[in-house]
Chain A
Amino acid sequence: MTLALLGSRRGTAAAIILAVIGLVLPWFVYPVLAIDIVAYALFAVAFDLLLGFTGLLSFGHALFWGGAGYVATILIAKAGAPFAVAVVAALAYAALSALVVGAIAIRRQGIYFAMITLALAQLQYFVAFQLGNLTGGENGVQVSSRGTLFGVALDNDKVFYYAVLVVAALGVWFVVRVVRSPFGAVLGAMRDNEQRAVALGFRVDRYKLVAFVLSGTLAGLAGVLFAVGNRLSGLDGVDWHTSGKVVIMTILGGIGTVFGPLVGAGVYESLDYFVSKTPIGDKTNIVMGTIFAVCVLLFRRGIVGELLALRTKRSSTGSERAS
């Protein structure tokens, strides 16, 4: 279904529309909000590589997002590291922690996998909380200047936004390549029927671990963009609510669709922003939680998934489409 969309004319059209939205976004909304949207979009796509294409629900992805954010901001703020160095170090941290967490968590499946990833993410949360000297505890780490990249100063929010957009687009492109590769096909086979994949001779644990590390590293990349974009990393980033947020975005948009998480992140962040302007203020979770609950009860395919299903239903009366 997904791959059909990616290859189809409509898929190309959808990609162009998203690209245009991406390009003009900071001229319509506050640039830092635009950075948030794009960073979360990358986060959700990275997460969907695991949930939608591998069939693993992690409830601890804040570990990579927030952890990498901490590493990057601490290096920039306290060691005066250049932006590029901070990014590479943060990615190394995300990859390494994903390797460790993944190796532990893939020993169990389903609901237990979710609970173990959540618990391990909380482990990092408490450590970050205790290492107040490094992480600033409740205050977080503030970055006064984002530095430069290839000679371009990044302190202007719009300039940084376009840097974020390019990086995020590359990240999404990478996920698409992974999903469509032979490796991605094995992931899909494992998701649909793990026993069959084992019977076919695939070492499923190794595939799961690689998928987990890829997903965690990309989530870390998104987290760096978010933290440096906001010039702040704090306990919010590593809190389990952030892990839940990316789950909501991905399912709201449509799991296993690549486009879905992008749309989900955009819808979530804009809605969250507008709801926070209403009298209920920062208690936006009343609204977000309700939408998510309805989604889980009635629209499990998410926005993009439901649209695709609608199209398939309509066209199935005519010629048979490959799905």
Chain B
Amino acid sequence: MALGLSVIFGMLRIVNFAHGAMFMLGAFVAYYGAQLIGLPFYAALVVAPVVVGLFGLGIEVLFLRRLYGLDPLYGLLFTFALVLIIEDAMRLAAGALGSPYAAPPSLAGVTNLGFTLFPTYRLFVIVAAVVVCALVWYVLEHTPVGARIRAATEAPLLVRALGIDTQRLVSITFAVGIALAALAGVLAAPNQNVEPTMGDKIIINTFAIVVIGGLGSIGGSVITGFAIGLLQTLGAVIFPAFNDTLIFLVMIVVLLVRPSGLFGSPASAK
């Protein structure tokens, strides 16, 4: 479970809090969809990211856009404010206690992998995460849009001088990132309660993953996310009591040995 989420979040290279809230909103869209209109799980996998992605787009256009050009810390702070508002609004709407969300029957039970039995749903999440990552990687590396996005993040001024609307690229990238966070939320929903604070832990773990991985290639972030996810899955078996602290201990060691992160170049460490 952690594996799939770590990979998706690692790939997003998130440096804001909002994705945690959007992760939670994604799960709630799936939950309310199922409750109110009987939205099936597979449909929720499409609907929730679209709905939440549009919401994220609105936030970017209305608010975050005003904070570009300032210290990026203000963006971080604004998204923190968003988390406070959205979390408490959901507590008001849905109550603090979680609600269960069932996986579809076709994914229940276990699959025999030959060497071990594995819950089918977890297998599905891992496969889905890998597919999504591959898709994003392909779009970024092998399509004209991807080339522009990469160029816009590396040299925005130059790209603008070439007549490309970087603002629009940023908005689209942000909305897609939010949509992926929501997708992760739907994927996570059947394995944990759908509750307003479900995004908190994942976002802090993600911060640690970003610090560990460093601002390197997408591949680097995915590998880091994958490794951390694997570590936590194993940690849950070996010493369950301190599993939650494992990721932070890894972060400390990495910072002491390689301050710019495993895949980061020292220049991008600032």
Contact = CB atoms under 8 A, between A and B. Distances in A.
22 contacts: A57-B73, A104-B255, A104-B256, A109-B270, A110-B71, A110-B73, A115-B208, A119-B204, A119-B248, A120-B252, A126-B248, A248-B81, A283-B88, A286-B85, A286-B92, A289-B88, A290-B85, A293-B63, A293-B78, A296-B67, A296-B74, A296-B77
Interface in A253-301: 280, 283-286, 288-290, 292-293, 296-297, 300
A112 B214 CA distance: 10
Nearest to A284: B88
B81 A119 contact: no
Main secondary structure of the interface of B (DSSP, over half): helix
B249 interface: yes
Contacts of B245: 123, 126-127
Interface in A117-133: 118-120, 122-123, 126-127, 129-130
Nearest to B71: A110
Interface string B60-93: 0001001100111110111011111101110110
Interface string B130-145: 0000000000000000
A247 interface: yes
A119 B251 CA distance: 9
A90 to B, nearest CB: 22
Interface in B205-229: 207-208, 210-211
Given A104-B255, A244-B84, A123 B248 contact: yes
A289 B84 contact: yes
A269 to B, nearest CB: 16
A239 to B, nearest CB: 9
Contact of A288 (B84, B242, B270): B84
B147 interface: no
Contacts, number: 112
A115 B70 CA distance: 18
A40 interface: no
B255 A285 contact: no
A289 B81 CA distance: 5
Interface in A185-212: none
Contacts of B67: 296-297
A114 B76 contact: yes
B251 A116 contact: yes
A107 B259 CA distance: 6
A10 B210 CA distance: 46
B15 A251 contact: no
Given A285-B88, A296-B78, 14 more contacts: A104-B252, A111-B73, A116-B251, A118-B204, A122-B248, A126-B248, A130-B242, A244-B80, A247-B80, A283-B89, A283-B92, A289-B84, A290-B85, A296-B74
Interface residues of B, number: 43
Given A111-B15, A126-B245, A283 B91 contact: yes
A240 interface: yes
A122 B77 contact: no
Q: Interface size for chain A: under 10, 10 to 19, 20 to 34, or 35 or more residues?
A: 35 or more
B269 interface: yes
B244 interface: yes
B98 to A, nearest CB: 16
Interface in A204-245: 240-241, 244
Given A116-B255, A118-B204, A297-B66, A290 B81 contact: yes
Contact of B73 (A114, A116, A283): A114
Contacts of B204: 118-119, 122, 240
B119 to A, nearest CB: 25
Contacts of B161: none
A104 B250 CA distance: 13
A108 interface: yes
A126 B67 CA distance: 33
Contacts of A114: 73, 76
A159 B255 CA distance: 46
A214 B92 CA distance: 39
A251 B255 CA distance: 29
B241 interface: yes
Given A115-B207, A293-B82, A293-B85, A247 B77 contact: yes
A289 B255 contact: no
A107 B248 contact: no
Interface string A94-118: 0000000000100111111011101
